[in-house]
Amino acid sequence: MSSSTRRRSTALAAAVVTAAALGATVLALPATAVGAAPAPAAPAAAVPAAAPLPIVKGTLDWGVLARYRAYVTGMAKGTITPADGAEANADGSFRFASATGAYDKDGGHVVTAAFKGSVTFESTAHGFKVTLADLRIDTGTKKLTADVTKNGTLTRDVPLADVAFTGRAMDRLATTLTKEAADQLGSEQYAGLAGDPLTAALEFGRPTPPSPSAPSPSPSTAPSPSASNGGPAPTIAPSPGAGSPSSGGPQQLVGGRLTWGVKESFRTYVVKGGGSVTPAGGAVAAGTSFSFAFGKGELDAVRQKLDASFAGSLRFQRPDHRIDMTFTNLRVNAEGKKGTLVLDVKTPGATKADVPFATLDLSKADYRTSGGVLTLASVPAAFTAEGSAAIGAPSPDYAEGKPADPVTLSVTVDKDAALPGTAPTPTGTGGTAGSGTSGSTTTTAGSGSTVGGGTGGPGGGKLAATGAEVPAGTLLAASGAAVVAGAGALSLARRRRTARS
């Protein structure tokens, strides 16, 4: 083989390895696109400039602002219409597809992507029609832009949101609405608000191979080829630890129970107006809260990951404020120190599935089981934007980030293990709950701020004033001690009955 042929083969091998390191990916940027320092530059004569990686397909999920969507379809009595290839997701956000763009490694490790589709917010009653189209993201400027047509006037390249492109993952990135977005949506109060989270799934193709005449790396430093030039484009490896096997592996759950009350002041508001909160289908009233029966799930204690679903539903009805909604199909998705409470929201007119209702603070969680049982007690929960929109109340007590009732759950991985005899229940955030029996629950309310009705219509009425913040999580040992104490009392009673006999 001639020396020139060897140099061309080496150059091609280097290009293939580059493609293998920066090829197709879903829900992640190339490793050096954001938040990673570029590798030290090789001498100009040693490595040819890398061609941008083209985006061959991809989608963008974003809902603008849950609060704005609720206003359009609620108070404004308007409509929201995705078109031109965009679709509505189950959680109320929108999916824009047919991504085009590129990853420019030598141009600053920047990904730019454009997506097809549009969404129109329109209200005849309030006199507006706003269409967002041609959405684009840029990891260099960290912006989401779009062409906006407001009441017939087109404005191109409107920066709608700042996006937290801080790592290679592009799943549920935080967004902040800009002043320009507030102007287009018709209210200055939207400026600076946390918008809906953004998720992008992008697939990158191969770069254009370097010209045979381009300078080649020295044979002594050229990487060895790891793939042929044919076949499908390689994919980027997941971030470290994302797919590493655990020593113990996941375990199937065989039992469990979840205790939660949504938000005590909301229950108070519903019941005070002559309404009701009705558990059914495996949910029962449990003191000041509600207990949901086990569905199915999996626990990986080594990776600190828990996925569990629970049976039962809660129906909130208050006819005078046109509230009729049911929370059902509760799931807890937990990993490490963070988790999400997900549920379905049903109203007479529609069902929204997989609503991420509340975030869970698991900073004090221990995923290890004791006697085949894992208990996470009084886990602090906070409303998401989607959860706030589902409640449908404009009071600041229900805004994104505000505390919901804490969550307590116990699950078992051993068929012979028994759940704690009395599941801990959250103390709520103010007021005193009522009946404690299966069926509707009444709540005694104090004075509070005015709120609207839930999903389904306009509202009014007073809420109970909220009190102290949600207490910190209880240790697993505390609940275990309670069970041991109960067992000791039972044993003592038996010995006394035997002595009397």
User: What does the block give as tokens for 94?
Assistant: 């929108």
DSSP-based three-state secondary structure for 324: strand
What pLDDT sits at residue 91? 87
Q: Residue 172: name the closest of 372, 386, 420 by CA.
A: 386
* Spatial separation of the C-alpha atoms in residues 264 and 269, rounded to whole Å: 9
- pLDDT of amino acid 186: 94
Helices (H), 197-277: 264-272
Q: If DSSP states are collapsed to H, E and C, what string results for 345-414? A: EEECCEEEEEEEEEEEECCCCCCCCECCEEEEEEEEEEECHHHHHHHCCCCHHHCCCCEEEEEEEEEECC
Q: What was the pLDDT predicted at 374? A: 94
The per-residue pLDDT for 373 is 93
Q: What is the 3-state secondary structure (H, E, C) of 84-131?
A: CCCEECCCCCEEEEEEEEEEECCCCCEEEEEEEEEEEEEECCCCEEEE
Mean pLDDT by 10-residue block, N- to C-terminus, for the chain (501 residues)?
Answer: 47 40 48 47 52 89 95 94 94 93 77 95 96 95 96 95 85 94 94 94 75 43 32 32 44 94 92 92 90 93 92 93 93 94 93 94 90 92 94 82 95 87 40 34 32 34 30 35 42 48 37
pLDDT value at position 107?
A: 60
Distance CA 58, CA 163 (A): 18
CA–CA dist 346, 58 (Å, integer)? 31
| 3-state secondary structure labels for all residues of 45-75 | CCCCCCCCEEEEEEEEEECCCHHHHHHHHCC
Q: What is the rounded distance in angstroms from the CA atom of residue 408 to the CA atom of residue 41?
A: 53
